[in-house]
Structure 1
Amino acid sequence: MTALHRFPVKSCSGEELDAAEVEPWGLAGDRHWMLVDPSGETVTARAHPRMLLMRPRLSGDGLVVSAPERADLDDLEVATPQGPLTDVTVFGRAPFAAALADDSAHAWFSDLLDTPVRLVHADDPRRRHANPAYAGPNVPMAFADGYPLNVGSLASLAELNRLIAEGPRAAEGGLEMVRFRPNLVVDGEAPWAEDGWRRIRVGEVVFRVVKGCDRCAVPATDHRTAERFKEPTATLARHRRWDGAVWFGVQLVPDSPATGAVLRVGDEVEVLEAEVAPDGPPR
């Protein structure tokens, strides 16, 4: 494994780590905070690309967020809330309860985005579950889109960049992996081999590979400027389009041990079960 990424606030900038503990709902501290609109629905960089410029980091008992684009704005310091709870949703799916941060956090983010938002915390990820059709029953979730972890392959990224370079928007190529916001980055396999993975071991942890990752507009957004482009969506649509979506990377559920083990950059990645990569969406 060549890199580990944690994203403390959903859709904001992430942290690159040397090591991270695995919990049943993903990497410790990953996507445990989220912005929601007044109705409780998630607010993401799909609609607000500038979220990618916000830089959150976990502190001892909470969160610190900076906004480099706003020199007039002090860093936000937020204590981990103990309540009250409010119902929230992620892309209109079943509502679940999350803890509200204090009013100063809501005001800080609302000022930055120029729209009313609230900051919430996944105080108990067991209240939300991944889709059992793919993940199996009762897989807990914090605020990731659909499944506990995501993995990206450098071999697949290199192939994608090669395809972009051959197309009409070659200048938009040379993409970095962070555009796809994976938790784990791996190397050494053939491009798209991960489509056929079913179980892998990374260090001490065995993961089930439960589904491919269908992609939204976020990978087409420059994480340094928040400018949105056509790539990689256009090239993925030519080469990796199935079921009305474009696909890059695969989703993981920790299998054993599901909690307490530590992943480290440099850990060996072993494919335990695989099929021939499908000519269609992964899983």
Structure 2
Amino acid sequence: MQISQLFNYPVKSCKGNKLSTMEIDGFGPKWDRRWMIVDPDGRFITQRQVAEMGQIGVTVSSDRVCFDYHSEKIELSMIEAQGQKDERLVTVWQDKLSGNRIHHPVNAWLSQKLGREAQLIYMPQETVRQVDLEYAQLGDRVGFADGFPFLIISEASVEFLAEKVGYPLDVQRFRPNIVMSGCDAFAEDQWRQIQIGDIVFDLVKQCSRCVIPTIDLKTSQKQPEIMQAMLKYRKQGTKVMMGQNALHRGEGCITIGQEVKIIR
């Protein structure tokens, strides 16, 4: 069993980036969901409200952050992209926390693309957003992701669902960070701990899916047959589950092709 694909998502709910090597720091995948778009009241905006967010690409280099939407682009220096400290709180689900507000024309650019007033927020290095202690240890932190620093899924699980839907599904619909090959569909449901190189991952909770996997990556149109298939084959109680939320123990790099070992 090995890593087949790696992704990070610098801005919550915007397009992801395919990686050959992933650097992992205290937050999780480097730059993963360190930025977020909020409304005038500081509430997070996602594809659940504005499906077109998935059309906005974000690339991060050592000195710049570049946004693109089809043929249009706008860039910020890394200094600009890290914004300025602001005491006003922003909201991610039940969490209220401070974030650096970014004062740059990117806000008007994003507002125009999303059709609503938008403000870009950055989570500075000193922020500790505690992961739910029902699943994590004190000090485990996460960026602006819904709840956990990693989402792990197998190619076979997505292929199973694609067979039921009747057409191929890009794994990026499920917004994973680490994709595995060489195992059976939904084998990840049984994993509790895996190791990749020197880094151990605790798989602590199956991922409850919302409408986002039904959104076509190219057109932003919803395809309800995908949710219907998940309801038929992946329903547990009142929720549908695909993939595993995970916490990392250690920092470093992982790469495509690297062996994945099941510890528990």
- Pairwise CA distance, 1:125: 6.1
Q: Say if 2:190 is the partner of 1:184.
A: no
1:240 maps to which residue? 234
2:5 maps to which residue? 3
Asked whether the 8 Å contact 1:8–1:57 carries over to 2, the reply is: yes
Q: Say if 2:68 is the partner of 1:77.
A: no
- Give 3-state SS (helix, strand or coil) of 1:127's partner: coil
1:138 maps to which residue? 139
- Pairwise CA distance, 1:82: 4.3
1:232-271 → structure 2 map (5 Å cutoff): 232-255=226-249, 257=250, 259=251, 261-271=252-262
Asked whether the 8 Å contact 1:135–1:147 carries over to 2, the reply is: no
Asked whether the 8 Å contact 1:126–1:141 carries over to 2, the reply is: no
Asked whether the 8 Å contact 1:207–1:254 carries over to 2, the reply is: yes
Q: Say if 2:192 is the partner of 1:198.
A: yes
Gaps of at least 5 residues in structure 1 are 166-172, 274-283
C-alpha separation between the residues in 1 aligned to 2:106 and 2:74?
Answer: 11
- Pairwise CA distance, 1:126: 3.6
C-alpha separation between the residues in 2 aligned to 1:152 and 1:176?
Answer: 12
1:154 maps to which residue? 155
C-alpha separation between the residues in 2 aligned to 1:245 and 1:176?
Answer: 22
* Change in CA separation of 1:254 and 1:102 when aligned onto 2, cut-off 3 Å: same
Q: Say if 2:87 is the partner of 1:105.
A: no
- Pairwise CA distance, 1:74: 4.2
1:124 maps to which residue? 125
Number of aligned pairs?
A: 259
Asked whether the 8 Å contact 2:83–2:122 carries over to 1, the reply is: no
Asked whether the 8 Å contact 2:193–2:263 carries over to 1, the reply is: yes
TM-score, normalised to structure 1's length?
Answer: 0.87
Residue among 201, 225, 232 paired with 1:207: 201
C-alpha separation between the residues in 1 aligned to 2:64 and 2:123?
Answer: 12
* Change in CA separation of 1:133 and 1:118 when aligned onto 2, cut-off 3 Å: same
2:49 maps to which residue? 47
Q: Say if 2:155 is the partner of 1:164.
A: no
- Give 3-state SS (helix, strand or coil) of 2:135's partner: helix
- Pairwise CA distance, 1:106: 1.5
- Pairwise CA distance, 1:263: 0.6
Asked whether the 8 Å contact 2:128–2:139 carries over to 1, the reply is: no
* Change in CA separation of 1:16 and 1:126 when aligned onto 2, cut-off 3 Å: same
Aligned-residue Cα RMSD (Å) equals 1.5
